[in-house]
Structure 1
Amino acid sequence: MDYQTLSITLDDKVATVTLDRPALRNAFNEQAIAELALAFDELGRNELVRAVVLAASGPAFCAGADLNWMKKMAGYSQDENLADASRLADMLRTIYLCPKPTLAKVQGDCYAGGMGLVAACDIVVAAEGVNFCLSEVKLGLIPATISPYVIKAMGEQAARRYFLTAERFDALAALRLGLAHEVVAMEALDITVAGIVKALVANSPNAVREAKKLVREVVGQPLTDALLLDTAERIAAIRASNEGREGVASFLDKRRPSWLD
């Protein structure tokens, strides 16, 4: 597809999806939402892709909603607003459920809906000096569609504060809250992301996919007999899988597993 709001590259099993509207601080509109949903759906099904990096061009990562898009929404009916918000919700879910590991590379400020993009990714690396903000209440709105992902990432107590105050907080605060996994100097951002991606693609593709699913489906579950059985069935199944057998055999034989060839 000829993307208008994104650029996509594939290099050595790693796809990079770059928000590419720097003049508009990478704010998204209906086209950007549709293109992000399509890109992550296609990359999730592409057997050549082992990891996906979400990046941005220019000084900002994402300023949230495009002003022209917001002007259009101001005249929408209830049904039109619902359809529009549902498309955003579906896009965020597509990123969150992408079977490939996803990494947000946050080089600049990230506001409002942009925080939903970041929180929907598996791993977040931010540059020092980056600011985050859930600014919706300043406009009389709420961060509803991004809330499932942001609350998972930063926790209920932090969400209570920042959803209500719309205060900016910096990358180090994001690290303390759990929204970011690492915060590094801007000049170290590329090499840090490259190191994490290298670790991701060195692992069994099937195991990475199943491990991602495991976290998503086990978190918050009570410690019941049903959960214990479920986890036992998962490890039994992956031990018997082709990559599970190959991984153990290669370790015992002191050789590279086949997925690295």
Structure 2
Amino acid sequence: MFETITLITDKRGVATLTLNRPEKHNAMSGQMIDELTQAAAGLDADAAVRVVVITGQGRSFCAGGDLAWMKAQMAADSAPRAAEARKLADMLGALNALSKPLIARVQGAAFGGGVGLCCVSDKVFAVNTAMFGLTETKLGLIPATIGPYVVARMGGGNARQVFMSSRPFDAVDAQRLGIVSNLTTAQDLDAELELEIIAYLKCAPAAVAEAKAMVLSLGGAPTKTTIDASIKALVTRWEHPEANQGIIAFFDKTAPPWE
């Protein structure tokens, strides 16, 4: 059914959604974005699903946007660029609004869109060796589409510390900034996660869904206006010469002109 992700639900109703492009560090391609959107819709509609865990296959949780996908946007016109940005925004929105608890199991590095996936999760369990980063500006881009969710999670003051410099930060800083809920060792990650799952399974499913919806309605979700503005900002940035220079420099393994 899926090619870039896997989805397995156990008899308790715990669904594990795994990003499955380990050779690409689970970077999000257009296909993965489509498949995540489809999976989110199915999980939301499935009454048997009580809890959803999102994780990555291999050494990385998610390296962000696939560079080949970004390069394709450089060659596209404004309308296709906007459509691709909208797909990414809709995927993040679907996961953010999921009527089931969404727990991120971060077993490795999370960059760019990987940080975005953390920020649309209700709780984030991360190994203490994981690295994080919003590295878009190094490529001449900006963390636009994920921005509303990251700022909602971190707050503006914390976001200003990491939105602009592209400097990677460790799991301790990620917890301080509000991205990570719980830090653990790789050996204890699944045991710690299981304790959280058990707690949710002892709660009334409809009450959990309504409690989450209430949080989102009280300011826990970006508005349509904010989302539309983030899409416009990303399309505008894709059209800036710096973006083209940054992507070309990355593929050519050369320094961009601003270094």
Q: Give the TM bin, normalised by the shorter chain.
A: 0.7 to 0.9
For the pair 1:117 / 2:89, whether they are aligned, the reply is: no
CA distance in 1, matches of 2:67, 2:148: 24
Report whether the alignment pairs 1:92 with 2:121. no
Distance (Å, rounded) in 1 between the aligned partners of 2:179 and 2:15: 22
- SS of alignment partner, residue 213 of structure 1: helix
Measure, in 2, the Cα distance between the counterparts of 1:86 and 1:157: 27
1:113 deviation in Å? Answer: 1.0
Determine the C-alpha separation between the residues in 2 that align with 1:93 and 1:109: 22
Aligned equivalents of 1:180, 1:155: Cα separation in 2: 14
**Residues 1:10 and 2:1 are matched in the alignment:** no
Larger relative contact order (C-alpha < 8 A, sep ≥ 6)? 2
AA aligned to 2:99 is P
Q: Distance in 2 between matches of 1:179 and 1:111?
A: 12
Q: Cα distance, 1:72 vs. partner? A: 1.2
**Pairing of 1:43-58 with structure 2 (within 5 A):** 43-58=43-58
Tell me which amino acid in the other structure corresponds to 1:10.
T
**Residue type at the aligned position of 1:131:** M
| Deviation >3 Å, runs of 4+ | none
How big is the shift at 1:219?
3.6
Alpha-carbon separation, structure 1, partners of 2:219 and 2:69? 36
Calculate percent identity across the aligned residue pairs.
41
Matched letter for residue 35 of structure 1: E
- Cα distance in 2 for partners of 1:40, 1:188 equals 27
Distance (Å, rounded) in 2 between the aligned partners of 1:152 and 1:70:
25
Mapping 1:158-197, distance limit 5 Å: 158-197=158-197
Per-residue CA distance 1:124-161 (angstroms, 9 max, x = gap): 11001101000011111111110111111111111112
TM-score if structure 1 supplies the norm length?
A: 0.82
> Structure 1: which 5+ residue stretches go unaligned?
221-261
Paired residue for 2:206?
Answer: 206
Give the Å deviation of 1:67: 2.1
Q: CA deviation at 1:214?
A: 1.4
Matched residue type, 2:196: I
Matched pairs, number? 219
- 1:69 aligned counterpart, secondary structure: helix
Residue type of the alignment partner of 2:91: M
RMSD: 1.0
Where does residue 256 of structure 1 map in the other structure? Answer: none
